[in-house]
Amino acid sequence: MASPEDIDPDSHIVGVYYVESGLGLWRAGVEIAKEESIGTWTELTTMTQRVVERLAAKVYKVDGEKRLVWVAYPLELFDLDYGGIPNLLSIVAGNLFGLSALENVRLIDLKIPREVARHFPGPKFGMEGVRGLVGSEMGVPHLGTIIKPKVGLSPRETAQVAYEAAIGGVDFVKDDETLTNQPFCPLEERLSHVMEKLDQVREETGRTVLYAVNITAQHEAMMELADRAIEQGANMLMVDVLTAGFSALQSLAEDPSIRLPIHVHRAMHAAMTRNPRHGIHMLVLAKLVRLAGGDQLHTGTAAGKMEKEAAEVRKIDDFLRGEWNGLKTVFPVASGGIHPGIVEENIRLLGPDLVINAGGGIHGHPMGVRAGARAMRQAIEAAIKGIPVEEYAKTHEELRVALEKWGKKYA
């Protein structure tokens, strides 16, 4: 056992775990520390005191009321230059989830010192850099949209939807996470048509709208798609970080020839984050995305959720927007079931420096995509000005029609 005074935070990565075990918290924590550093199920004739002193993980704190255990892993245990995030996860979130002595265990936080962070690229642009590309001010949310339907549109149809949304006022357009380079909508052709339409928007309005083209693929193919996207004039890339892997994101961020912001989708995250008693907290994934170089990250919405759930999303967003180990910030993205009626509550709960991303809440507007984007923009304006959305809708038709359809209930 160790005490907090024994642990140098600059020379350890600390995992904070929620644990349910009949062993009690201290013994359960020791099982985690053994499994993920130098231990196994039986005594070893090959073990030396030198190995124990240098590489053993240590339990140094427990919270019985909250069922939390703090485990400190010495930095020498990690291969940060070559193993990177895969090696890090293999240690702090590896076999421990299968230990029979633990009924439930959840990694809820990672304390990562600056010495570790310097081995990773971090975001190239960050929130401030993305705002610089668009020309927006701090304190006003970006408005984004996902092309809908998710799949099935041709490249030209996709581009026309993007145009209507952009003319209506969005700052950011993204592919759905399921769309990459399928035959019905090839990536290069889709990108070419979309960028042509967004150039038209710039000529007509003076506004720059970003398009996150989804290049998620096998590693070599993904890097090739990134190069081809750049040749086609892309101004943003998108990656499904959990299906492609953190190393895929890091490869994009570290490549000096890729000078574009990276939008990070979190498809599959709920397999790890949804169970409050077992798995990995979204805050941990957010920290890894920031290390690996994501510039925007989906973190969830707050409207319509219980107070505790909303507070957890806010905590993640505040982390992404705050100072951390000298790395640039990450633009948090609120997405999923958003429509004009719940914009005000999301901004109130999550803060104004975020991307409000709406799919059906724009494309399902009775007056069409352009009107849907305008209604979302009007809802943002109302929230920033402190005007109740119902009051603002009296003089803004698109917003009024949206409220008549969806009200203020969470989808």
Q: Which residues are catalytic?
A: 148, 265
Q: What angle do CA 73, 91, 282 make, to 5 degrees?
A: 95
Amino acid at position 22, single letter: G
Residue 134's Cβ-side half-sphere holds a number of Cα atoms within 13 Å equal to 27
Of 349, 335, 400, 350, give the one whose Cα is nearest residue 374: 400
Q: What angle do CA 392, 317, 321 make, to 5 degrees?
A: 100
CA torsion through residues 73, 77, 81, 87, sign: negative
What's the rounded Cα separation, in Å, for the pair 349 and 351? 6
- Could you tell me which residues come within 8 angstroms of residue 200 by beta carbon, excluding any fewer than 6 positions away? 163
**What element of type H or E holds 152?**
none
Alpha helices in 213-368, H assignment, sequence order: 219-231, 241-244, 246-254, 270-273, 282-292, 307-321, 343-350, 360-363
Strand partners, 297: 264, 332
